[in-house]
Chain A
């Protein structure tokens, strides 16, 4: 028996690039096509090998300096060197004020939401990657929500919701403490087929992000989704398909 489905459909599914209807069609097809199941398994295996190997290479610090140095002569010549001393002093004062304004603007959350989002996503992906090192995945290893939830008591200043979704295809694997953005957060670990999903939870001031909808993205090949819920910020990260993360988000929000 040979399957005549175009190979690109498997890849589109793997990459979360099929629309909901075609993805559902493909999942139905999977139920009766061992060939495609084997293909998908092989592709997932290759993908997780690529992610585990961490082949991403960051720019060396020297390159960064060298780029900055090469761009610097392109900036306008400092005005102060062309002006009389008195004017230069006033300009210096103005420059300091500008710098202060700029720092204040950078520190204000919200205005630079996009940038903060990228930094936060990078931290969360890093935390997820660290957890995949042997022995780091869970502090409390249990599929029983009534074991995991009390474990967090006294370790955190908030109570993260702990629920098992084994019946929906997301069995709880355990929990651990992690550090994101300099604060201790709860991390719940769920499995999705062969993938692991870390869900980071921490409390947010109630004024922030009251009714925003989930935001998604990807970083270094890992998908993430974040949403606020009941005064807490949720951040799920995994190499599973984005549609899986959306499904888990819905379960957690019920």
Chain B
């Protein structure tokens, strides 16, 4: 798909970060950037907001991601600009989380047996009517699960797009989504457990 993305560099996120001299795009590339990438700022912010779980931090991370995208725009050789940008956003988010937050749970909880029987469409419909509860349940998921839910349900990405953004094989996307949804149902129906997750 011709998508390249820089990995691994640590950034100090700050509002004063500006593209450096050698990263300046020529007028034509700058115009292409404005047309292709800038319109996806909402998507960038939304993903960042759910990954760092805070609007203020998400603004910083989304801004940093946009500047990174600008710097590396010459490495974008066409294709899906939203997926290309979101790949940068999620990498920037994970770098930011490593630096600024204690590690989050990455494994699934092992209480499924007790709750599995209580997952009914009715129970989910009732719990799901509470926006705050749904939002907290989503935030309680490990980040790798949270991102597939956000990309699929909020951003409307296909499995293929999710695979590109998260750099994992499509088969892994399927199983991650299946486990993430299951865990979201558990979190939704068990607020106590969800609180415990936030304490970690």
A and B: bona fide binding partners: yes
Binding site for B on A (CB under 8 A): 7-8, 10-12, 15, 17, 38, 41-60, 62-64, 66-67, 70-71, 73-76, 118, 218-223
Q: Are A50 and B46 in contact (CB under 8 A)?
A: no
Task: Flag whether B67 is at the interface (Cβ < 8 A).
Answer: yes
Main secondary structure on A side of the interface with B: helix
Closest partner residue, chain A, to B130 (CB atom): A53
Partner-binding segment picked from B1-9, B93-101, B151-159, B190-198: B151-159
Q: Are A66 and B63 in contact (CB under 8 A)?
A: yes
Closest partner residue, chain B, to A17 (CB atom): B159
Can you list 28 A-B contacts with CB-CB less than 8 angstroms, sorted by A residue number? A7-B178, A7-B182, A12-B159, A15-B158, A17-B158, A42-B124, A45-B128, A46-B185, A49-B188, A50-B128, A50-B153, A55-B138, A56-B42, A56-B46, A57-B45, A57-B58, A58-B45, A60-B59, A66-B59, A67-B66, A71-B30, A74-B23, A74-B24, A74-B25, A75-B27, A218-B156, A220-B156, A221-B153
**A59 CB contacts on chain B under 8 angstroms:** 41-42, 44-46, 59, 62
B154 to chain A, nearest CB (A): 5
The 8 closest A-B pairs by CB, nearest first: A49-B128, A59-B45, A218-B156, A45-B121, A74-B19, A45-B124, A8-B174, A41-B121
**B27 CB contacts on chain A under 8 angstroms:** 75-76
B46 to chain A, nearest CB (A): 5
Binding site for A on B (CB under 8 A): 15, 17-19, 23-27, 30, 38-39, 41-42, 44-46, 49-50, 55, 58-59, 62-63, 66-67, 70, 119-122, 124-125, 127-129, 131, 134-135, 138, 149, 152-156, 158-159, 174-175, 177-178, 181-182, 184-185, 188
Q: Are A11 and B45 in contact (CB under 8 A)?
A: no
**A10 CB contacts on chain B under 8 angstroms:** 178
Q: Are B156 and A219 in contact (CB under 8 A)?
A: yes
Q: Are B63 and A11 in contact (CB under 8 A)?
A: no
Please, how many angstroms separate the alpha-carbon atoms of A58 and B58 in the complex?
Answer: 11
Q: Are B70 and A221 in contact (CB under 8 A)?
A: no
The number of inter-chain residue pairs (CB within 8 angstroms) is: 150
Residue from B55, B67, B122, B158 in contact with A57 in the complex, judged by beta carbons closer than 8 Å? B55
Q: Are B156 and A63 in contact (CB under 8 A)?
A: no
Q: Are A46 and B124 in contact (CB under 8 A)?
A: yes
Please, how many angstroms separate the alpha-carbon atoms of A74 and B125 in the complex?
Answer: 50
Q: Are A49 and B59 in contact (CB under 8 A)?
A: no
A42-B119, A49-B129 known; A75-B30 Cβ under 8 A: yes
Residue from A7, A8, A46 in contact with B128 in the complex, judged by beta carbons closer than 8 Å? A46
B118 to chain A, nearest CB (A): 11
